[in-house]
């Protein structure tokens, strides 16, 4: 037994030595390693998957070495450190990584990008990217109100937090902008993984009269679409252009170009331009990182042309600052 | 005041009770399986993993054979295997059932996530053939009541049937009697020339099957052929709480799951009035309250037993 233990320990030591030597050689080949760390898990066909698309594009175009880590809702700090040990550029996807303020200074030579939230004070090697989701949601709310026949529109949020509520206040304002008498109802699924709960949330809103429901709840959204199909109401997708998932019930999507903004930011770093580090980049409608997607033209289009035109006008007004969209930030 | 009456109206609407049934069913079917293992004296916390396996392999079967029924059969087959696997470690190898349960949950999450990505890609599965919804015709026309029970997925109704069948099985058949003996006093079963382990194997396999059906109902029935990673979302643990609260009696267990469903449903409707963080903890707060009740109840029973027969109670302790 003792002998066996000794051999086991020796083997473990050897293995650790190998592991160390491997990571030491990583940088020698010249190409940079980019880690994408997501707070939840891939497979939401929306926010996290969009970040993966950005990374895939970087691999194809710039030849970076990819690492992906899924936190599955826990151990965000440890996974951040794991990524920082291995990669040169670390992209943290999700509002949950708020301890980056303490972790990043320990790795001064690494570059961090934090998606969807911002450090309370600038950190020298962290670029925060936040999105003006309130602006995109304003348009989504306008469309929802225009398409609704009952005069009530709904929103299913993932959790009662600032980032999610930023969508909802914009959505509400947009709906009221179309017609002040439009009623906006909302609820929160309190989970991002469970489509069945998403379905229950959407059905509850439908019970309150909502005939267009905006989903802001990651994989729970699948349940929202399912409910819409079953009861014959409409849904609005989020983050990616989700129309393809079910063109008959998803009338449009509030697009947040997470993947493209990661691509842009990392490309700048690779080109040697680090001027954005230590700042917060608000990817908004003016720069084209937030907007509305209607899927492909060949799909059923439920949003009438005149509404689409009105949306374009509103877009111009938001960009020019004529309309000020509320925010929770 | 007006707001309050509106809230009350939304809580007492058929929609609330409709949702109660919908939310309770997957938990209830799994809890029925848990009741069997509980009777056989196994503390089964692996139900969550079993549900997840059923949910995934149901969709996989539906995808492979283009039929929801084949998917259901596939899920049941996997349920048998998972039940056997669980029994092998817990009964044959006498491992700690708590640890094997944890291992099963972790294993199920890893396996289903891995296979889902390998087969369906990162996006998960959606839109494969699904189990039918039942429309009850005339009964659905009854005001209020019709709105509550009409138009559910098939297994919402089957669950009620299962409750009756299992209640008869556990309390009215010799096999059920042996099952309970295996958990409560295995030595009596041995004296009678029967193997308690055999009853435990049967309970474990049946639990695997019922949990798989619960999972298949979730993915194939309720969500019409959709699988998302980790979609069981701790329903197995809620089911376990129902088993304990219902004293492993199928009828009481079912009622306990209905109660959870009810609080979930009103939680959703209270969100406008109370913070959603608070409504989210309702099921867990209920669990704690239920457990306190269970402890008080069992203490009281012990005391009663002691009063009646001090020697026997002492011997059992």
| Torsion sign over Cα B133, B137, B138, B142 | positive
Distance CA B83, CA B212 (A): 10
- Mean pLDDT estimate for chain B: 90
Distance CA A116, CA A128 (A): 8
**Residue contact B264–A200, C-beta within 8 A:** yes
Tens-place pLDDT, residues A55-66? 999 999 999 999
Structural tokens at position A297: 């033209």
Structural tokens at position B316: 């059992």
Interface test with A, best of B14, B215, B231, B275 (most A CBs within 10 A): B231
Structural tokens at position B2: 């007006």
Tens-place pLDDT, residues B206-250? 999 999 999 999 999 999 999 998 899 999 999 999 999 999 999
Band of residue B290 on the pLDDT scale cut at 50, 70, 90: confident
Residue pointed to by tokens 């029967």:
B194
Strand A33-38 and strand A280-283: the pairing is unpaired
Amino acid A55: pLDDT: 95
**Residue contact B124–A45, C-beta within 8 A:** yes
Q: Which of A187, A194, A201 sits opposite B233 (nearest CB)?
A: A194
Residue B155 has pLDDT above 50, yes or no: yes
| Torsion sign over Cα B229, B231, B232, B233 | positive
ipTM of the modeled complex: 0.87
Residues of B in contact with A227 (CB under 8 A): none
The domains of chain B, with CATH numbers, are 13-280 (1.10.3470)
- How wide is the angle at C-alpha A261 spanned by C-alphas A58 and A70, nearest 5°? 70
Q: Which of B10, B224, B231 sits opposite A226 (nearest CB)?
A: B224
Crossing angle of the two packed helices B68-87 and B97-120, in degrees rounded to 10: 150
The domains of chain A, with CATH numbers, are 29-131+259-283 (3.40.50.2300), 133-255+296-320 (3.40.50.2300)
Amino acid A9: pLDDT: 58
Q: Under a CB-based contact definition with an 8 Å cutoff, are residues A87 and A266 in contact?
A: no
Residues of A in contact with B48 (CB under 8 A): none
Where does chain A have alpha helices with state H? 2-25, 47-62, 76-86, 100-103, 133-147, 162-178, 195-207, 221-231, 258-270, 305-320
The region, left, alpha or beta by phi > 0 then psi within -120 to 50, assigned to residue B224 is left
Q: Which of B13, B223, B233 sits opposite A191 (nearest CB)?
A: B233
Q: Which of A160, A204, A207 sits opposite B276 (nearest CB)?
A: A160
Band of residue B46 on the pLDDT scale cut at 50, 70, 90: very high
Distances from the Cα of B262 to the Cα of A23, A212, B25, angstroms: 53, 25, 11
Please, is A217 exposed, middle or buried when counting C-beta atoms within 10 Å of its C-beta (0-12, 13-18, 19+)?
buried
Tens-place pLDDT, residues A261-279? 999 999 999 999 999 999 9
What percent helix, strand, coil does chain A show, rounded to 5?
45, 20, 35
Q: How many Cβ atoms are within 10 Å of B297's Cβ, its own excluded?
A: 12
Q: Under a CB-based contact definition with an 8 Å cutoff, are residues A165 and A133 in contact?
A: no
Interface test with B, best of A154, A161, A191, A195 (most B CBs within 10 A): A195
**Residue contact A245–B233, C-beta within 8 A:** no
Whole-prediction pTM: 0.86
Q: A18-29 burial, b for 16+ CB within 10 Å, e for fewer?
A: eeeeeeeeeeee
**Residue contact B19–A193, C-beta within 8 A:** no
Q: Under a CB-based contact definition with an 8 Å cutoff, are residues A245 and A45 in contact?
A: yes
Tens-place pLDDT, residues A278-307? 999 999 999 889 999 999 989 999 999 999
Amino acid A21: pLDDT: 43
Distance CA B163, CA B159 (A): 6
Instruction: State the smallest CA–CA distance between residue A16 and chain B in angstroms.
Output: 25
């Amino acid at each position: 037994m003792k002998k066996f233990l000794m051999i086991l320990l020796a083997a473990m030591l050897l293995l650790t030595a190998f592991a160390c030597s491997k990571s030491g050689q990583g940088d020698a080949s010249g190409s940079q390693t980019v880690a994408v760390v997501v707070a939840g898990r891939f497979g939401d066909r929306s926010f996290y998957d969009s970040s993966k698309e950005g990374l895939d594009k970087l691999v194809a175009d710039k030849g970076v070495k990819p690492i992906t880590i899924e936190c599955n809702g826990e151990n965000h700090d440890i996974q951040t450190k794991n990524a920082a040990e291995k990669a040169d550029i670390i992209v943290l996807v999700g509002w949950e990584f708020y301890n980056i303020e303490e972790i990043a200074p320990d790795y001064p030579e690494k570059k961090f990008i934090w998606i969807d939230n911002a450090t309370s004070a600038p950190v020298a090697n962290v670029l925060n990217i936040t999105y003006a989701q309130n602006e995109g949601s304003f348009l989504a709310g306008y469309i929802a109100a225009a398409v609704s026949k009952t005069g009530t529109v709904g929103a299913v949020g993932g959790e009662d937090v600032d980032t999610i509520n930023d969508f909802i206040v914009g959505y509400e304002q947009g709906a009221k902008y179309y017609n002040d008498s439009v009623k906006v109802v909302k609820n929160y699924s309190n989970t991002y993984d469970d489509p069945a709960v998403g379905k229950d949330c959407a059905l509850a809103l439908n019970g309150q009269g909502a005939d267009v429901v905006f989903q802001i709840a990651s994989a729970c959204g699948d349940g929202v679409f399912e409910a819409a199909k079953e009861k014959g109401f409409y849904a609005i997708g989020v983050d990616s252009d989700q129309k393809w998932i079910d063109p008959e019930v998803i009338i449009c999507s509030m697009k947040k170009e997470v993947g493209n903004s990661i691509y842009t930011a990392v490309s700048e770093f690779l080109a040697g331009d680090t001027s954005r580090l230590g700042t917060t980049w608000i990817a908004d409608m003016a720069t084209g990182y937030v907007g509305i997607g209607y899927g492909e033209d060949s799909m059923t289009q439920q949003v009438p042309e005149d509404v689409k035109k009105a949306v374009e006008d509103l877009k111009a007004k938001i960009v020019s600052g004529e309309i000020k969209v509320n925010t929770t930030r | 005041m007006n707001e309050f009456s509106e809230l009350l109206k939304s809580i007492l609407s058929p929609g609330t009770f409709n949702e109660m049934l919908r939310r309770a069913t997957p938990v209830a079917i799994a809890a029925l399986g848990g009741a069997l293992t509980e009777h056989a004296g196994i503390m089964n916390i692996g139900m969550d993993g079993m549900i997840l396996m059923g949910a995934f392999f149901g969709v996989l079967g539906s995808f492979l054979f283009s039929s929801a029924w084949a998917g259901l059969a596939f899920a049941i087959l996997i349920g048998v295997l998972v039940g056997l696997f669980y029994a092998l470690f817990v009964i044959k190898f006498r491992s700690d059932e708590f640890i094997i349960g944890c291992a099963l949950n972790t294993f199920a999450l890893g396996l289903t996530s891995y296979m889902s990505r390998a087969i369906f890609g990162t996006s998960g599965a959606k839109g494969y053939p699904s189990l039918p919804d039942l429309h009850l015709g005339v009964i659905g026309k009854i005001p209020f009541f019709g709105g509550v029970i009409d138009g559910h997925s098939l297994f919402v109704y089957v669950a009620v049937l299962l409750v009756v069948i299992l209640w008869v099985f556990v309390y009215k058949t010799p096999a059920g009697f042996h099952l309970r003996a295996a958990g409560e006093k295995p030595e009596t079963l041995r004296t009678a020339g029967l193997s308690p382990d055999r009853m435990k194997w049967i309970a474990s396999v049946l639990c695997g099957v019922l949990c798989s059906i619960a999972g298949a109902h979730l993915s194939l029935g309720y969500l019409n052929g959709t699988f998302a990673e980790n979609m069981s979302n701790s329903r197995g643990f809620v089911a376990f709480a129902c088993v304990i609260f219902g004293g492993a009696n199928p009828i009481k267990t079912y009622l306990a799951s209905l109660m959870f469903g009810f609080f979930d449903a009103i939680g959703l409707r209270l969100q406008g009035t109370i913070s959603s963080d608070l409504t989210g903890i309702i099921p867990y707060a209920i669990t704690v309250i239920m457990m306190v009740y269970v402890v008080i109840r069992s203490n009281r029973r012990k005391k009663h037993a002691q009063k009646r027969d001090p020697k026997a109670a002492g011997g059992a302790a």
